[in-house]
Structure 1
Amino acid sequence: MRAQTARTNRLRSRIAPSTPGKRSAPSQRLTSRNHTRRPRTESAMLSDQQILDLARRAATGEREALGKLAGALRPLICRWALVMTGDPNDAEDVAQHVLMRMMESMETFDGRSRVTTWAYRITRNASLDHQRRTKRDRLLAEKAEWLARAEPPQLDDPLDDIEMKRTMRLIRTLLGELPMRQREVFDLVDLQGLDPKEAAELLEMNPNTVRVHLLRARRRMRREMLAQGFAYGNKEE
């Protein structure tokens, strides 16, 4: 809970301007001790080498390794697909397709990149193909109900809890209004905790280009929050 609260406060400090003359409450200040860089998913329980070993065993047709690899990658693939499609049902379809494609083509994986990098590229291509087939614009701003359901945990202080929930709801809604590249970069870096170089590897982009998209995303988020009257640390409900 502390790590998630710290991550929320870090996001708030990046995209919401501080109010002159006001200091954040102690619960809002972020320290390096309680900051967690990476999201907690099943794949985070396995090292890159363990995932690579599973992939190599799966490539030989070992069914147990195939099952373990699919179980480790599924949470990440579902999350990526959800960010890219904006619809939980579409994301589930894409995730199933990606997992099947990976299992069927495991012998083609050469190990020159991380398994998660390979999985991300397949997921992104599958998501784009899915959007083209449906011939609909899948902006997260239009289909963001899934974001509203992902509420942060309860805090000891009810006022802090209300403030954090309100901030995260606004951040998640505004996320859906960003262009696709900015949305991907913002999600990978500021929400999932990757650094720009790791995001660049997943997106097959130059790290400097990723930083430009991240800067533009943060500026737009900050501008939209100001336009809605959001003030850091002293906005009343």
Structure 2
Amino acid sequence: MNQPELIVQLQQGDEQAFKKLVDEWQDMVYNTALGIVQNEDDADDITQDVFIQVYQSVRSFKGESKFSTWLYRIVISKALDHVKKKKRKKRFAFVQSLFGTASEEEIHPEEFNHPGVLMENRERAAELFKAMEQLPDNQRIAFTLHKLEAQKHQDIAAIMNISLTAVESLIARAKGNLRKTLNAYYTNNNF
């Protein structure tokens, strides 16, 4: 079934069309969310939130951009919102700990492993993902879409609603920032 026909069926409330859409796009949605939030449980939650939003708002999709562009925008928005909420919770927990009112134990994040990384590259990939967390949001999104999702610069420009030059600049700055951050790791580990 071609994409426009599927979208029309979705807009008419066809549940089978929604199931087909989820089957077709769930890996992309999950992997993109995972690349941004770097936590499998959070990526699962975001994936569910994305498809709920798609189901609720597909009637507003007018086809002015590709469906994939629209979907990527939703994923990125949900993932960034999630990251911001987590940062707020951490700040609030820190303030509570200052006043001795924190009742929860401190939870240390588990080691993050992206499913697309080969076993022998896990250690280096873990360092890369840690360094990616330090990038500004726009750089991290552009880098994630380009390197993890293999999106072309033109598609990233459409997804992020910025110019092609801005995408190229964001990716170049992300690479430069990652190079600086990772320099100490590679120097200390003789890579």
Please report how far the alpha carbon of residue 207 of structure 1 lies from its aligned counterpart in structure 2 after TM superposition: 1.5
Q: Does structure 2 conserve the Cα–Cα contact (< 8 Å) formed by 1:58 and 1:66?
A: yes
Aligned match of 1:106: 58
Q: What does the per-residue CA deviation read over 1:151-181, in whole Å, with 9 as the maximum and x for residues that have no partner?
A: 415xxxxxxxx4x444434323322222221
5+ residue gaps, structure 2, are 92-107
Q: Deviations over 1:13-43 (max 9, x none)?
A: xxxxxxxxxxxxxxxxxxxxxxxxxxxxxxx
CA deviation after TM superposition for structure 1 residue 137, in Å: 5.9
Corresponding position: 1:204 with 2:154: no
Higher relative contact order by CA 8 Å / sep ≥ 6: 1 or 2?
1
Cα distance between partner residues in 2 of 1:203 and 1:95: 19
CA contact 1:131–1:137 (8 Å) conserved in 2: no
| Correspondence for 1:115 among 49, 67, 71 | 67
- Residue aligning to 2:46: 94
Q: CA deviation at 1:96?
A: 1.0
Aligned to 1:25: none
Kept in 2: contact 1:147–1:173 (CA 8 A) = no
**Is 1:67 the counterpart of 2:19 in the alignment?**
yes
Mapping 1:1-237, distance limit 5 Å? 50-134=2-86, 135-136=88-89, 143=109, 145-147=111-113, 151-152=117-118, 162=120, 164-230=121-187, 235=190
TM-score normalized by the length of structure 1: 0.62
* Number of residue equivalences: 174
Listed as ranges, the gaps of 5+ residues in structure 1 are 1-48, 154-161
Specify whether residues 86 and 191 from structure 1 end up closer, same or farther in structure 2 by C-alpha distance, changes over 3 A only: closer
Deviations 1:77-123 (A, max 9, x none): 12222233333222222221210121122222111111111112222
RMSD of aligned Cα (Å): 2.9
- Report percent identity of matched pairs: 23
- When residues 188 and 137 of structure 1 are mapped into structure 2, their CA distance, relative to the original with a 3 A threshold, is farther
Cα distance in 1 for partners of 2:28, 2:147 equals 16
Q: TM-score, normalised by structure 2?
A: 0.75
